[in-house]
Structure 1
Amino acid sequence: MKKMLLVAFLLTATALISNAQKFKKLPESKIEQSFVEKHIRFLASDALLGRNTGEQGNNAAAAYIAEEFRSYGVLPVNGSYFQKIPFVKYDQPQNAKITVGDSTLFVNSDFLLLNGGGVNISSAPVARVGYGWVSEDGSYNDYENQEVTGKVVITQIGTPDTKSFREMMSVSAQKAAIAKEKGALAIIEVFTIPAPWELLVSNFGDGRLEINTNESDSFTRILVNAATAKRLGNETLSIQSDELSKKPTPSSNVVGLIKGTDPDLRSTYVALTAHYDHVGYREPDGEGDDYIFNGARDNAIGVAGLLSAAKSLAQKPPKRSILLIGFTGEELGLKGSKFYVENPLLPVKQTVFNLNIDGAGYNDTSIISGIGVQRTGAEAEITKAVEALGLKLLNDPSPELGLFDRSDNVSFAALGVPAPSFSPGFTAFSEDMMQYYHKEADNAEGLDFAYCTKFAKSYAYAARLVANKTTAPQWIEGDKYEEAGEKLYQH
């Protein structure tokens, strides 16, 4: 038995040494700490004011990424490194109120106007319709046996299947479209999430960004504070509101291309992605106050990894072509990645894999955390890349959080593209991580740059190994996105 164990150990050690020797011959082995560190320090500097989507610091970050692409020899797509996204900034109206009998609800303190405006609804009957949701297959229908024509529909936020607040907000417009189709005058969603109303106002009140779809936004959609929702009653109410203030506030995805070397495989793409936006800054409390959310961990580390892969793969291109995308608007609800897959610059059906970087930080520098790696057909290659740097791959360390569906990779996955996320090492969302997540403390100072460099190298090497696979990765049997993959690629 001891002899068998010794043989197994020697075989494993030999394989690891061989992998490491092969890795040292590749460009990504030459990625230096100074290269990774300079990108993180710039992107997380105070000068970029937290890279809030559509603001000056965000645009500066986009320009920086594009110029790095250019310097490596990465090609623009359709003549540009920028995919412009027509965001619009909304501010709440100065005058807006909901009246129920002798009770009045006021904008900001009691409710937010998310859509519509310039409205005067007087003494309209109320219809309470659960979530106000109808499933695509019709198996769930809150409007069954409900007549809502000429009424104001009141619903609970989200749907029966949504779990996170981001998911709940992402279906809000779809619920409004259903209510409008049913003949309702307006829809009011009740904010029942155990989170401060003030947090919602800061994110969805003045300064809210949405993509301009050129569709009519005249249908009134309102989110009301649960603490005051009971005052809405069950009979009639009135809504008077000025229009929302709107201002064009464009931002861009940053896109580049490295052409593959294999004549049969170069027409297919491995997409490497990371979001570069963060959450901006708050008003300072006084001199010396740290008021900028620099986003070093979320996601300057990821962008440095993307740039490292771009440089390495441009120096020695793999068999398949590489599509590089720095996404904007991730912090707004994955808006940049959703815009890309709905308006792709290269055919999604020719994109065979997406390896996304995102994360809230790290609490274990001996590992890389893979979100969905086991599900998406490239576990062997990604494991090999991680181990070449002396690290270990930990798959889905916090499955209860549903992280796979909460980052930009899911925009590709929903269409059928195998799309895991590659994250800095964490075993759980511990207190030492959460002290930085969307906090002013998430600065470059205090980062383990030696680990960040290993992270960047392993990501670049993983991308190379996947892009050199003759057979494209596929979803494992029974995965919830397998059917979408079959449809996309028509296996």
Structure 2
Amino acid sequence: MIRLTAFAALAISLLASPLAAENRIADRATLEQDVRILADDAMEGREAGTPGYDRAADYVAGRFADIGLQPGGDDQTWFQHFPLVRHSQASDSRLAIIDAHGRATKASFGEDFVGGGLASAGGPDGRGDVEAPIVFVGYGLEMAELGHDSFADVDLDGKIAMWVFSMPDDIDPLLAIHLQQAGADRFAAQGAIGSILLWTPELDGRSPWLSGRSYVGDIGGLTWIGPDDVPFDRAGDMQFQLIASPELSRSLMEGQQFGWDDITVAQLGGMMPMPSFDTGMSARVSYASAFEPVLETSNVIGIQQGTDPSLAEQYVVVTAHLDHVGVSNNPCPDGDMIFNGAMDNASGVATMLEMARLLVADPPRRPVMFVALGAEEKGLLGSSYHAANPGLEHGELAVNVNVDMPILTWPFNDIVAFGADRSNIWRAVGSAASAYNVKLVPDPNPDEAFFFRSDQYSYVRQGIPAAYLDLGFGNGGDVAQTAFLDRHYHQPSDEADGIDYEQLGRFADIAYLVARNVADMDERPAWLPGDFFGSTFGGPIAGDR
């Protein structure tokens, strides 16, 4: 509803005012030079943690210095360093269910349950032993407007959330994807110490337990180590996540006020509401985690101060990921083994550098931080680290403008600004598009979940409004983008010669004006009232004082 209202109002406002003439201000030759250098074979695909990436980072730092930015990294340098580790289960987890009479029944790892400790749990040695009451929380959702307020009548603080996975069919696709990913976040926010997912008949219909348990129970992956030496995990203080087999799930609901058959009926009935309640049971869980150092990498950060002292603590952060996927182990038929990453994302970094040059020449009201992000290809890790650790002595990140892989092979006539319609920056973004006679359109392909697949989402999760700039499907854009994605995305053929540099210049013109408009806003960038992401992650709300 918010999205449609915002775009409708924007269309009306643009029709009511004359369009400005196009003004070619981005230097096309400089853009091409930056792309060709960053996508050169000498950069070896810019994989995070490799000498090739470090060479690319040095190049960006040098460009920041030449442009006239101030260093914004560690110890007055250009670089914000962060280590990545691989988190995995060091051994099988152990689980015992304790009934209301104190009788304990052991469950078998792999047969009765899977899962284990989370990255931030267990202290320095990654080990933990937990015994806590079990609370059934139904679908584990906070959506009172749809009849699901799973936490209203129970206290999860220091307890274990036992839940059922289901998702309403009639909600915003963006919200559905977020909710699917963020169960642990919701439980952690309620103070839960762990969770147990019940494997229901509805879930078994999607993926039978015997085949599904391996991938849903594989707790682990890459994460970063923070300045406090604690591995990062979005689940905060949650210690473990477990998934119960169909047989254990059924037994856990035996004798409860809302039983196994009730769950089945509720799910078959179109996600009928479920109650939440204390089960009278407890669980004893032991887990052990292992951490393997993987690599060290960096973000590259430059800062341009603003002109308005009253806005000096509201930073606009402009981002583009610098890393790509490195060198292939299996050469293409022509022998090329280097994933040059020209479109993905040398084009975005070149755009950011040109935005920086223009904003240094004519500074906006707010300060602007420019960040060439590392480890995006490994799971948005550079942006996740920076959003949580911006390194500012004074002020805070107020809004993010992200540029990631605009596919620049045809004369585009529309742009997408993922997320802009959720905050009061949408008018500033729309004004920039209007100035260049380009339409601002909604996400043409929401099922692909691009909103969650690029770096701006790391800032959104910190309560920071954001916009990810990309191109729409107009004027043959759907065909052009599909052709690139099918033939060149994450392939050695993503070379600098594949970019139309006049189109990159047009895109950079618009991106620059978006950043300038946002940096010059009278009001603070803020979420629209009632927006889900603003309510979920916090941050300022438009109109609040």
**What TM-score results when the alignment is normalised by the length of structure 2?**
0.63
Q: Which moved more, 1:447-456 or 1:329-338?
A: 329-338
Identity %: 28
| Secondary structure at the counterpart of residue 402 of structure 2 | strand
SS at match of 2:513: helix
1:317 & 1:230 partners in 2: Cα distance? 61
**Residues 139 and 262 of structure 1: CA distance in aligned 2, closer, same or farther (over 3 Å):** closer
Give the counterpart letter for 2:27 in structure 1: I
Equivalent residue number for residue 225 of structure 2 = 211
Q: Note the 1:396-415 alignment, pairs <5 A.
A: 396-415=443-462
2:324 and 2:345 in contact (8 A); partners too: yes
Specify the alignment match of 1:124 in structure 2.
Answer: none
Shift of 1:366: 2.5
1:440 is displaced (CA, Å) by 0.9
Alignment of 1:178-327 (within 5 A): 181=193, 208-211=222-225, 214-215=229-230, 244=290, 246-247=292-293, 249-284=295-330, 288-327=334-373
The counterpart of 2:490, out of the listed 439, 452, 457, is 439
Shift of 1:389: 4.0
Q: Structure 1's 71 and 397: CA in aligned 2 closer, same or farther, altered over 3 A?
A: same
For the aligned residues, what is the CA RMSD?
Answer: 5.3
* 2:515 corresponding residue in structure 1: 463
CA distance in 1, matches of 2:393, 2:183: 26
Compared CA separation, residues 335 and 172, structure 1 to 2 (3 A): farther
2:528 is the counterpart of 1:476: yes
Task: Report if the CA contact (8 A) 1:435-1:441 is conserved.
Answer: no
Task: Specify the alignment match of 1:486 in structure 2.
Answer: 540
CA contact 2:88–2:289 (8 Å) conserved in 1: no
| Cα distance change on mapping 1:375 and 1:346 into 2, 3 Å | same
> Structure 2: which 5+ runs fail to align?
1-13, 95-107, 252-284
Question: Contact 1:156/1:189 (CA < 8 Å) preserved in 2?
Answer: yes
**Superposed, which structure 2 residues align to 1:1-400 within 5 Å?**
15-16=18-19, 18-20=20-22, 23=23, 29-32=25-28, 34-77=29-72, 79-89=76-86, 139-140=149-150, 181=193, 208-211=222-225, 214-215=229-230, 244=290, 246-247=292-293, 249-284=295-330, 288-346=334-392, 350-359=396-405, 361=407, 365-400=412-447
Contact 1:363–1:426 at 8 Å: present in 2 too? no
Q: Deviations over 1:176-216 (max 9, x none)?
A: 999993xx8x989999988x99x979x998x8454356348
In 2 relative to 1, CA 315–433 (structure 1 residues): closer, same or farther, beyond 3 Å? same
1:305-350 per-residue CA deviation (whole Å, 9 max, x = no partner) reads 1111111111221222211122223333332222223222237964
**Secondary structure class of the residue paired with 2:377:** helix
Query: Separation in 1 of the partners of 2:523 and 2:189?
Result: 42
User: 1:76: how far off?
Assistant: 0.9
Shift of 1:486: 3.1
Q: Are residues 1:453 and 2:505 paired? A: yes
For 1:133 and 1:311, locate their aligned partners in 2 and report how far apart those are by CA, in whole Å: 48
Compared CA separation, residues 431 and 241, structure 1 to 2 (3 A): same
Deviation at 1:73, TM superposition (A): 0.8
Relative to the length of structure 1, the TM-score reads 0.69
State the shift of 1:39 in Å: 1.9
Residue by residue over 1:126-171, the C-alpha shift from the partner in whole angstroms, topping out at 9 and shown as x without a partner, is x998999687999437xx899x99x9x9998999999888986676
Describe the superposition over 1:263-311 as per-residue Cα deviations: whole angstroms up to 9, x where unpaired.
Answer: 4334432221122223334422577444444333232221111111111
Distance change in 2, residues 1:178/1:53 (3 Å): farther
Q: Judge conservation of contact 1:90–1:247 (CA < 8 Å) in 2.
A: no
Shift, 1:255, TM fit = 1.4
In 2: Cα distance, 1:49 partner to 1:38 partner: 17
- Give the alignment partner of residue 419 of structure 1, picking from 458, 466, 469: 466
Q: Quick one: distance in 2 between partners of 1:14 and 1:128?
A: 57
Task: State the Cα distance separating 1:60 from its structure 2 match.
Answer: 2.6
Deviation at 1:421, TM superposition (A): 1.3
Q: Would you say how many aligned residue pairs link Structure 1 and Structure 2?
A: 456
Give unmatched runs, 5+ long, in structure 1. 1-10, 122-126
Give the secondary-structure state (helix, strand or coil) at the position aligned to 2:311. Answer: coil
- Aligned-partner Cα distance in 2 for 1:348–1:44: 36
In structure 1, give the amino acid aligned to 2:470.
Answer: S
Summarize the Cα distance change of 1:208–1:378 in structure 2 as closer, same or farther, 3 Å threshold: closer
CA distance in 2, matches of 1:176, 1:265: 34
Partners of 2:444 and 2:359 in 1: CA distance: 29
Aligned mates of 2:27, 2:82 — CA distance in 1: 32
What displacement does 1:368 show? 2.2
